[in-house]
Amino acid sequence: MSRNAWEERPLAPFGMEIDIRLDAPLPDGFEQRLVDLFDRHKMLIFRNQVMTEADQVRILENFGRVLGAHGEYREISSDGALGSGPLTWHSDLAFTEEPYKIISLHAVAVNDGESWTAFANSVDVAARLPEELAGKIRDRQAVTVIAPIQSSRVVDYDTSTEMPHQIRPLLIPHPRTGEPVLYINWMQTSRIEGMDRDESEATLARLFDELYREDRIYTHHWNNGDFVIWDNIALQHSRCDLTGMNPRKLQRIVIADKSFFDLLPQFQVGDNRISAWGSGGKELVLD
Ligand SMILES: [Fe+2]
């Protein structure tokens, strides 16, 4: 088969939509093309897919080590483990030493067009920072913590670092491409090391303004059959409030070496603190 066996459509302001049936035999060269497009565009979107969990695993295996099913939520449901509340901007597991690398979601039962996930591009923004602001954060480190509430920003300069947290440079090299990533986010980043409160908050506010400018955001409205793969380091995401909608189910496969439960052994699969945590406004209780 030739390259014409699939169609590619760049999305704005970033991402690539690809037309192909992923549960059928894939054309020669397609899988390498997928990886190349992913590294360039950070997000791939496919529509009208019918994929089993095994089909989705097979596609994700092109990108790295798929996290096993043990101790991992492979189906997320708004009436299940991860709750139905809004989630403000974050990167999954940014407060651990091993954030998920890649996340994929396949909509198996959603309310067509009613729910959305939005994406911000921390690589594009890093490349476009005003010179003076880039200079201000060069060689600085930020503190990123587990957010006790996920629906809004509740972490700040005084947030305790007794909570699970990471201290890392604001600009990190992307693990696959080496590009600088502005790896801070609204939900989880509490402060910049070595700055007093006023300077830290003012600098973070300016960086967040750059990250979340409306014309830099891609918002995906979910329809049944949609399949989205995104880079959890290069992109950060947020989701709408699902409360009151019919429950939705998404099939989730991620690229990571460790699960949430491997990294945070104080929690166990099925722990009802986690669904409460994802349900908007309820504070996470840590041991
Ligand atoms: Fe997330």
Q: Ligand 1 centre and the CA of 259: distance in Å?
A: 13
Among residues 118, 206, 200, 129, which one has the least CA distance to residue 171?
A: 129
Q: Please tell me the distance between residue 283's alpha carbon and the centre of ligand 1 in angstroms.
A: 17
Q: Which pLDDT does position 280 carry in this prediction?
A: 67
Residue in this structure with the two tokens 């305790």, named with its chain if needed: 160
What is the 3 CA–ligand 1 centroid distance (Å)? 33
The rounded Å distance from CA 173 to ligand 1 centre is 21
Cα gap 274→277, rounded to integer Å: 5
The Å distance, Cα 276 to ligand 1 centre, comes to: 15
- Cα(25) to ligand 1 centroid in Å equals 31
> What is the pLDDT at residue 71?
73
Predicted pLDDT of residue 4: 59
- The pTM of this model reads 0.95
Residue 281: per-residue pLDDT: 59
User: Mean pLDDT by 10-residue block, N- to C-terminus, for the chain (287 residues)?
Assistant: 78 98 95 98 98 96 92 80 88 97 97 95 98 97 95 94 94 98 98 98 98 98 98 97 91 95 87 79 72
Q: Residue 237 Cα, ligand 1 centroid: separation in angstroms? A: 6
Q: Which amino acid does the sequence have at 177? A: T
Say what the pLDDT of residue 83 is.
81
Q: Report the half-sphere exposure of 53 (CA within 13 A, side-chain side).
A: 14
The H helix count followed by the E strand count for the chain is: 7, 16
- Residues, CB within 5 angstroms of ligand 1 (ion): 92
d(CA 65, CA 72): 14
* Whole-number pLDDT of residue 1: 46
For ligand 1, the distance from its centroid to the CA atom of residue 91, given in whole angstroms, is 6
Distance in angstroms (rounded) separating the CA atoms of residues 155 and 80: 26
Instruction: Look at residue 76 in the predicted model and tell me its pLDDT.
Output: 84
> How many angstroms does the Cα of residue 166 sit away from the middle of ligand 1?
17
Sign of the Cα pseudo-torsion (41, 231, 150, 72, in order) = positive
Tell how far the Cα of 241 is from the centroid of ligand 1, in angstroms: 13
* Dihedral sign (CA 205, 208, 210, 213): negative
What radius of gyration, in Å, describes the C-alpha atoms of the chain? 19
Give residues with Cβ within 8 angstroms of 36, minimum separation 6: none
Tell me what pLDDT residue 53 has: 95
- As given in the structure block, the two tokens for residue 70 are 């043990």
pLDDT at position 138 is 95
Identify the pLDDT of residue 287.
Answer: 66
